[in-house]
Amino acid sequence: MKKIAGSLLLVCVLALGACQKPSVNLSESGIIPLPQEITNASGSFTLTEASGVKLVGNSENLTKVGEYLAENLRRSTGYPIPVSFDTGNIILELGENDGSEAYELEITEETIQISSSGEAGLFYGIQTLLQLFPAEITSENKLSADWEIPQGKIIDSPSYGYRGSMLDVARHFISVEDVKYYIDQMAKYKLNYLHLHLTDDQGWRIEIKSWPKLTEIGGSTEVGGGKGGFYTQDDYKELVAYAADRFITIVPEVDMPGHTNSALASYPELNPGVNLPDGDFTTVNKQELDYEMPLKNPQASELYTGIEVGWSTFSSRLELTYAFVDSVVREISEITPGPYFHIGGDESHVTQKDDYIYFVERVQDIVSKYGKTSIGWDEIATAKLLPGNVAQFWAKEENAKLAIEQGNKVLMSPAVKAYLDMQYDSTTRLGLHWAAYIELDSAYLWEPSEFSTGIKKENILGLEAPLWTETITNRQDINYMVFPRLPALAEVSWTSKEKRSWDGFSKRVAQHGKRWEIQGIEFHKSPKVTW
Report the interface residues with ligand ACM, using CB under 6 A.
Answer: 346-347, 377, 394
Cβ 347 to ligand ACM, closest distance in Å? 5
- In eight-state DSSP terms, residue 213 is H
Measured CA to CA, the distance from residue 380 to residue 72 in angstroms comes to 42
Give yes or no for a contact between 382 and 402, defined as CB atoms under 8 angstroms apart. yes
CB of 415 to ligand ACM, least distance (A): 6
CA atoms of 279 and 220, how far apart (whole Å): 31
Smallest distance from ligand ACM to CB 201, Å? 11
C-alpha span between 295 and 317 (Å, rounded): 11
Give the DSSP letter string of 223-265.
GGG-----B-HHHHHHHHHHHHTTT-EEEEE---SSS-HHHHH
Cross-strand partners of 167? 196, 467
Catalytic residue among 331, 347, 439, 491: 347
Closer residue to ligand ACM, CB minimum distance, 107 or 403:
403
Strand duo 53-56 + 90-94: pairing: parallel
Q: Count CB atoms within 10 A of the CB of residue 30.
A: 19
- Comparing every residue's Cβ against ligand ACM, the nearest one is 346
User: Toward ligand ACM, which CB reaches closer, 154 or 169?
Assistant: 169
d(CA 254, CA 301): 18
**Beta-sheet strand order (sheet of 83-84):** 37-46, 148-156, 103-107, 112-116, 90-94, 53-56, 83-84
Cβ contact 38:520 at 8 Å: no
Which residue(s) pair with 84 in the sheet? 54
Contact 403, 424 (CB under 8 A): no
Is residue 95 within 8 Å of 58, Cβ to Cβ? no
Determine the length of the chain: 531
For residue 394, the minimal CB distance to ligand ACM (Å) is 4
Q: For residues 106 and 347, which CB has a smaller minimum distance to ligand ACM in the complex?
A: 347
CA-closest candidate to residue 527, choices 418, 436, 439, 437: 439
* Of residues 119 and 464, the one with the C-beta less far from ligand ACM: 464
Q: What is the C-alpha separation between 395 and 110, in angstroms, rounded?
A: 52
Which CB sits closer to ligand ACM, 93 or 255? 255
Please, what is the minimum distance in Å from the beta carbon of residue 435 to ligand ACM? 8
In the complex, least distance from residue 310 CB atom to ligand ACM, rounded to whole angstroms:
9
Give the closest residue to 28 by CA, choosing from 146, 152, 190: 152
**Three-state SS across 436-500?**
CCCCHHHHHCCCHHHCCCCCCHHHEEEEEEEECCCCCCCHHHHHHHHCCHHHHHHHHHHCCHHHC
Which residue, 356 or 377, is less far from ligand ACM as judged by CB? 377
Dist CA 525 CA 510 (whole Å): 9
Alpha-carbon distance of 229 to 453, in angstroms, equals 42
Q: Are 488 and 457 in contact (CB under 8 A)?
A: no
Alpha-carbon Rg for the chain, nearest whole angstrom, is 26
Instruction: State yes or no: is 347 an active-site residue.
Output: yes
Question: Facing residues of 466 across strands?
Answer: 166
Instruction: Provide the Cα torsion 402, 403, 405, 406; round to 10°.
Output: 120
| Range 112-118, long-range pairs (CB < 8 A, 24+ positions) | 112/45, 112/149, 114/90, 118/94
Catalytic residue positions, numbered: 347
